[in-house]
Amino acid sequence: MSTLKYFIKNIDKITDLTMEHIELISLAMCFALIIWISIGILIRNHNKLANGLLGVASIIMSIPSISIYGILVTIPGFGLSRLSAVFALVLYAMLPIMRNVYLALNEVDESIIEAARGMGMKKNQILWKIQLPLAFPIIFAGVRVALVMMVGIATLAVYIGERNLGRLIQQGITRTHMDMVLTGGLLVAILAIVVDGVMALIQKKLISPGLHLDS
């Protein structure tokens, strides 16, 4: 009950922090989509390069996010800034997005590609008209995973100067204000669930029923 009272009393502040949280992950996702989908497409026919990059992505994924933030703030040009927060989130999106793009494009049935070649289609036409549409469900699944993951990882960006829902948790722990901590934790969890739900709805709308993956 006291947590609800805290929420109602501080609704304006909480709304601002929620919007800042959404703005940060939206900005990071835009960059992640451009970078990792492009690289995933470029490495689709280069297995050694792909394995190397996916290995790097796996290593990055295994590093605690607070460590990544700590490393970035020491690099000239980054520091305690939104650039560091965005860059870290983009790095964490590397594995789920790039891997899914690479795997999805390479899993398109070779007989379909051969049929397209027989019809006179060129490589770029096959990529854009055949491979990407067929690979889209798997690519979208990777984007969905990356986006939900960002919601949680962004919370720790408060330690490098970001204002988002993580601030409620951070300041709540510092002040031993459990209602503040609980409010922040619940809102981050709810935001992750909502984001995942919205992505599931978009997936159903955009992807042909015959290509749907199990949600």
For residue 36, what is the domain's CATH number?
1.10.3720.10
- Mean of all residue pLDDT scores within the chain: 91
Give the dihedral sign, CA 173/17/151/37.
negative
pLDDT beneath 50, residues of the chain = 215
pTM of the model: 0.89
Could you list the residue range(s) of the whole structural domain that residue 36 is in? 2-211
Place of tokens 């965005």: 86
How many structural domains compose the chain?
A: 1
Distance CA 93, CA 77 (A): 22
pLDDT of 21 reads: 96
The C-alpha angle 70, 71, 73, rounded to 5 degrees, equals 70
